[in-house]
Structure 1
Amino acid sequence: MKQARFLDSGTPPHIATLVLAAGLAAMSMNIFLPSLATMATYFGTSYAVMQFAVSGYLAGTAVIQLAIGPLSDLFGRRPVMIAGIALLLVGTVICALAPNVLVFMLGRMMQTGVVAGIVLSRAIVRDMVPMDEAASMIGYVTMGMSLVPMIAPTLGGVLDDLFGWQASFVALFVVGIATLLLVWRDLGETNQAQATSFGAQFRSWPQLLRSRRFWGYTLTAAFSSGVFFSFLGGAPFVGTVIFKLSPSALGLYFFSIAGGYMLGNYLSGRYARRFGIGPMMLSGNIVNMVGIAAAFLFVLLDVAHPFAFFGPISLIGIGNGLTLPSANAGMVSVRPHLAGSASGLGGAITLAGGAALSVLAGAVLTPQTGTVPLLVVMAVTVVLAIAATEYVRWVDRREGELEGRSTDD
């Protein structure tokens, strides 16, 4: 494969381009979160209905990933990435101008096309480098990407206070245009073994679904990120209803978990090749458990300050930063010739679980219950993540580690 040259569409992309493409997808997910209560009032609907902008978006991205992966294996990473960002831009305009909540939700569903930035950044990395190096490089990509969710909710909260909730979508549109231009100029095609037909890609799914390793890595990613998606579904309610935070103040608390995610991804980038992906996944899930246990401890001590909830939960960012790069690298390495399909199918399963947990987290919370039901959902989810990690490590001990080759496990 050719050596990457920045702003040369005939060579593989610079890592910064993958960071921004994936970061745009993260930005579309969370920039407006501090405004959910404001938007519910604006559209004259309940918080539970407005929360569908999160859970419905996650479900939509899960569905669209089923097509993004095979399409990129068939037509290449570059055209699918460009089409996904273009779809985001159209959806963002609809959201900003929506006269009612139904039109707004239609725009949100169109925005799901931008998930190509996350799905294809993983596949592109796997096209370029072998598995252990892919775990390291994905860690660096997501470390840079994590700057976006670190800043976006804070920016969204400030924009809401100053100009109204629509300003968040204007900002998203401007960033989307800039990212589209960068991808157009820098993203060269990396898929050197394109599939023969779309149907052939779907017929190849049994190869993935029969793989115990694929399920181990996918369920590790699903449950580990599910801890965060549970938080995502419940945190706006916790912040605005239980702790009475303003949109800008809530955005600042989101900063801590995104900062933890950045740190975890940095550690993944630095140590994944040294320790291997199994230990990295396990260590991340242990950190998640410690964060949740600390939050429970503050509840038992009857500490009612917002930091008693958001502070310990910032460890979830570190834990996911340690776990997810390795889980995703393993997922797309089980069948390297199906990296795009594996990334799409695995991502769809992950986000479908995330959507369900997001809805569950929002449903169990009331002003009377406090944060305990949310913490229980998160604790159960992290236990399942540890079980999935131990399962794939058990397969490795029995049959030998994957080492980037196709297997018939």
Structure 2
Amino acid sequence: MGLNSISIDIMLPALPEIGQAMGSTLPNLAQLSIGMFLVGAAVSAFLIGPVADTFGRRLPILAGLAVFVLAALLTPLAPNMECLLALRLLQGLGVGTTRLSQAVLRDRYAGSEMAEAMSMSLMVFLILPVLAPLIGQAILLLVGWQAIFLTMAGLGAAVLAWTWIRLPETLAPENRREFSLGQIFAGLRTIAADRHAVGFGLSAMFLLGALYGFIASAQPVYADAFGLGALFPLAMAATAIVQSASAFVCTRLIRRMGALAVASMALRAYCGLAAALVLALCLHLLPFAVFLVLMMAVMAMFTWADATLGALSMSNLGKVAGTAASAFGAIQALGATVLGSLIGQFYDGTPSALVWGTLLLGLAALCASGWARERR
């Protein structure tokens, strides 16, 4: 799971240099390298699920990691932006198979137990953004942006080796499904008919869109709009530390309150904090310190909601966990990529697009979650 995060965060400080090196004349074109990566991950996640429900989780994950490493090694050789974007798409296609980690968790856990396990995974997953921008900044200053992709390849190779040695096959033989179009559509119908799955899955998609918008906008908002310059990775690291700590707290809350109660509380708090950001912006009372504190609190609530909504959406889908994980991964990633890219492309030199996008998508997530909880 961590490769997904590090493949984005480690290159954030280098986006302006990549755009210049590739001869880009549009200020937001380098940000498309993030969008292409996310699109590739979404497409891969959708295709790999039925395969994983037939042949297991281990082999598809290993194959995807190998593709990721190869694409990362080739990216520094890209002669232009188009070629670089194509290789980023290939990186995403490879790393998208790691979405099956959610199916691995569902093979072993369900309900609040799964939410607690996902929260623990998120705690480890969120430590990486603490280090990734700092590492990316250091590599950029000492060597150059090309070495950032070589670092991705090295990390991918390490994860590939570790996965080969340590990850067992978690799909029980009795849960394997025939690989056919009929079985694939039957699995998708099972997912579509489950109100909890659809509602909580859409809620997670809207929140993920807000997160992608934050990622796409972070470098210009922190470095340019608020004038942090090269210190922007420190602000990202502070946010990630808060998220990681909140994931640890989330595991305790789930144990005491249950996943549904924690998700509801997190979504309401998220929307309230986002509304405070919008109010401060409209009143011209949004200095960097206020923005940073409120945004860290918003991201903490995102962490609580993300861990619980994912588990809630999968709670009734144990028999089609691979297909469900891939379908949710594809729909959420594609939808979130579009929504997050819109926030990034609307950047106008101020945090306005990010602040308003955070609130609107938070409200959409709250509505989708409320619909999922309604009785028929």
Query: TM-score under structure 2 normalisation?
Result: 0.93
Match of 2:274 among 292, 315, 318: 292
Report the counterpart of residue 289 of structure 2 in structure 1: 307
Q: CA deviation at 1:198?
A: 4.3
The answer for the alignment partner of 1:406 in structure 2 is: none
Is 1:102 the equivalent of 2:82?
Answer: yes
Looking at structure 1, the residues matched to 139 and 226 of structure 2 have their Cα atoms a distance apart, in angstroms, of 21
Within 5 A, what are the aligned runs for 1:189-338? 189-192=169-172, 193-199=175-181, 200-246=183-229, 248-300=230-282, 302=284, 305-338=287-320
TM-superposed deviation, 1:300: 4.5
* Residue deviations 1:246-268 (CA, integer Å, cap 9, x gap): 3x412111112222321232122
Distance (Å, rounded) in 2 between the aligned partners of 1:260 and 1:196: 44
Q: Do the aligned partners of 2:10 and 2:136 also contact (CA within 8 Å) in 1?
A: yes
| Offset, 1:298 | 4.1
8 Å CA contact 1:217–1:388 kept in 2: the answer is yes
Equivalent residues of 2:212, 2:337 under 8 A apart: yes
Q: Runs of 5+ in structure 1 lacking a partner? A: 1-21, 399-409
Specify the code of the residue in structure 2 equivalent to 1:114.
V
- Aligned residue number for residue 143 of structure 1: 123
SS at match of 2:201: helix
Cα contact 1:259–1:317 (8 A) shared by 2: no
The correspondence for 1:179, drawn from 159, 163, 184, is 159
1:132 paired with 2:112, answer yes
Contact 2:247–2:304, Cα closer than 8 Å, also in 1: yes
Task: Decide which moves more: 251-260 or 217-226.
Answer: 251-260
Cα distance in 1, alignment partners of residues 324 and 219 from structure 2: 32
Residue identity over aligned pairs, in percent, reads 26
Matched to 1:211, the amino acid is: D
Residue among 12, 19, 22 paired with 1:33? 12
For residue 303 of structure 1, report the CA deviation from its aligned partner.
5.0
1:379 aligned to 341, 344, 359, which one? 359
Whether the aligned pair in 2 keeps the contact of 1:261 and 1:316 (CA below 8 Å) is: no
Can you list the C-alpha shifts for 1:311-340, whole angstroms capped at 9, x where unaligned? 321122211211111111122222210011
What one-letter code is carried by the residue in structure 2 that aligns with 1:59? V
Cross-structure match for 2:59: 79
TM-score, with length taken from structure 1: 0.86
Q: Do 1:262 and 1:317's aligned partners in 2 also have CA atoms closer than 8 Å?
A: no
Contact 1:228 1:316 in 2 (8 A): no
Q: Give the superposition deviation at 1:372.
A: 1.7
Superposed displacement of residue 302, structure 1: 3.6
CA-to-aligned-CA distance 1:17-58 (integer Å, 9 cap, x gap) = xxxxx1122111221012111211111102222111112222
RMSD: 1.8
Q: Write out per-residue CA displacement over residues 192-227 of structure 1, whole angstroms, 9 at most, x where no aligned residue.
A: 122111422244211111221111110111112222
Per-residue CA distance 1:283-313 (angstroms, 9 max, x = gap): 2222322432343354355456433333321
Post-superposition Cα deviations, 1:53-98, rounded to whole Å, max 9, x if no partner, equal 1122222222111112212111110001101111110111122222
* Structure 1 residue identity aligned to 2:314: V
Q: Secondary structure of the residue that 1:174 maps to in structure 2? A: helix
What is the CA distance between 1:122 and its match in structure 2? 1.2
CA contact (8 A) 2:273 2:297 kept: yes
Query: Any stretches of 5+ residues in structure 2 without a counterpart?
Result: none
Change (3 A) 1:198 1:155: farther
Would you say how many aligned residue pairs link Structure 1 and Structure 2? 371
Which shifted more, 177-186 or 157-166?
Answer: 157-166
